[in-house]
Amino acid sequence: MTAMPSTPVLIDPFGRAIHYLRVSVTDRCDLRCVYCMSEDMTFLPKAELLSLEELDRVCSAFVEQGVRKLRITGGEPLVRRNVISLFQSLGRHLKTGALEELTLTTNGMNLAKHVDDLRNAGVRRINVSLDSLDPARFKTITRWGDLAKVMEGLSAAKAAGMKVKINTVAMRDVNEDECEELVAWCGAQGFDLVFIETMPMGDIDGDRTQQYLPLSMLRARLEQRWTLEPIPDVTGGPARYTRCTETSGRVGFITPMTHNFCESCNRVRLTCTGMLYMCLGQDDVADLRSPMRASEGNELLTAAIHEAIVRKPKGHDFVIDRRHNRPAVHRHMSVTGG
């Protein structure tokens, strides 16, 4: 009997199937969130960036190798010029069924004007980062943000029928006191809400030991007001989800610091210069730009992808305490793509 051809799958040395690629299409951003960047950042020269056509080519090579989910992120993906054309071209993989989901993570500042194009390209779910509902506090956290613009983007996304997940980095003494209210607000809006612990990535102007809030503490605080019933994971992501009985909304927790979330990791991350990080919290990197540019066909690129997956490490080694008050990795989250 001849074997049936099967869909290719990228399997790492620990038996984890890699179905998910996150792509940082730019390291630039129109905000300077205090946990993510310092105010004065040096960005990559634009000439070093992969073109949008090259980004499409790498993403498509991953889709051919069995990647089912693509998340476009950054930096702020919506500040990259013509980024919508990348969504439009990648949307063809949704039509063939090769890709299950095309999505993005955004700060929401420029969302309103792009929502319709994103939807037409096939985007159905988006993640929007929002750490406060108070305009003044939002400005302090993001340094340059305007809450009204994010709210406008969220309303537009809701009106277009997109599913929205709010990402909130929970920070001690910064927005900790607002987290109960965020649960109420997201529940009322029909948005999922995911809290994230601060991760030690890149130099920021502030002190991370001051910001760091273990989510176990936040959850205990939330449970004084809300009933949070654990629910099985349906997203395939690193968040552990609960359902808030009172609002019916989903509330998730991403706890890279207090729990190792690596066992079920199904993802790798591509930077805007074509470097592939097999782990958010490790420095090993595979150059995909050179093999891609070395030939018009994709053989070298595909081989480089397979070689990289074989090097995927077991997990990260993030620690934040007084003795470890340095970034675990020197690059910012905006480089690897959160």
User: By the criterion CB under 6 A, which residues form the site for ligand SF4?
Assistant: 29, 31-33, 36-37, 74-76, 107, 129, 334
What are the structure tokens assigned to 266, written together? 């199904």
Q: Considering the complex, state which of residue 75 and residue 122 has its C-beta at the smaller distance from ligand SF4.
A: 75
Q: Considering the complex, state which of residue 173 and residue 296 has its C-beta at the smaller distance from ligand SAM.
A: 173
CB under 5 to 8 A by kind: which of ligand SF4, ligand SAM, none does 237 bind?
Answer: none
How far apart are alpha carbons 153 and 130 in whole angstroms?
A: 12
Q: Considering the complex, state which of residue 65 and residue 73 has its C-beta at the smaller distance from ligand SF4.
A: 73
Q: Considering the complex, state which of residue 56 and residue 131 has its C-beta at the smaller distance from ligand SF4.
A: 131
- C-alpha angle with apex 125: 123 to 126, nearest 5 degrees? 100
Least CB distance from residue 105 to ligand SAM, whole Å? Answer: 4
Least CB distance from residue 249 to ligand SF4, whole Å? Answer: 23
SS3 95: helix
CB under 5 to 8 A by kind: which of ligand SF4, ligand SAM, none does 336 bind?
Answer: none
SS3 183: helix
Least CB distance from residue 165 to ligand SAM, whole Å? Answer: 10
CB under 5 to 8 A by kind: which of ligand SF4, ligand SAM, none does 50 bind?
Answer: none
User: Would the CA dihedral through 136, 140, 144, 145 be positive or negative?
Assistant: negative
Strand partners, 251: 193, 242
Least CB distance from residue 89 to ligand SF4, whole Å? Answer: 23
- Binding residues for ligand SAM, rule: CB under 6 A, are 29, 35-36, 73-74, 76, 105-107, 129, 167, 169, 196, 198-199, 201, 333-334, 338
The whole-angstrom distance between residue 23's C-alpha and the CA centroid of its chain comes to 9
Q: Considering the complex, state which of residue 36 and residue 292 has its C-beta at the smaller distance from ligand SF4.
A: 36
Between the two ends of the chain, the Cα-to-Cα distance in Å is 46
Least CB distance from residue 167 to ligand SAM, whole Å? Answer: 4
User: Would the CA dihedral through 301, 292, 283, 252 be positive or negative?
Assistant: negative
How far apart are alpha carbons 307 and 301 in whole angstroms?
A: 10
Least CB distance from residue 313 to ligand SF4, whole Å? Answer: 24
CB under 5 to 8 A by kind: which of ligand SAM, ligand SF4, none does 198 bind?
Answer: ligand SAM
Least CB distance from residue 205 to ligand SF4, whole Å? Answer: 12
Q: Where are the beta strands (DSSP E) in 180-274?
A: 192-196, 228-230, 240-244, 250-254, 267-270
Q: Considering the complex, state which of residue 32 and residue 93 has its C-beta at the smaller distance from ligand SF4.
A: 32
**Phi and psi torsions of 121, nearest 5°:** -80, -10
CB under 5 to 8 A by kind: which of ligand SF4, ligand SAM, none does 32 bind?
Answer: ligand SF4
Contact present, 145 and 31 (Cβ < 8 Å)? yes
**Phi and psi torsions of 243, nearest 5°:** -110, 130
Q: Where are the beta strands (DSSP E) in 140-206?
A: 163-169, 192-196
CB under 5 to 8 A by kind: which of ligand SF4, ligand SAM, none does 199 bind?
Answer: ligand SAM
Q: Considering the complex, state which of residue 169 and residue 251 has its C-beta at the smaller distance from ligand SAM.
A: 169
CA count, 13 A, side-chain hemisphere, 143:
15
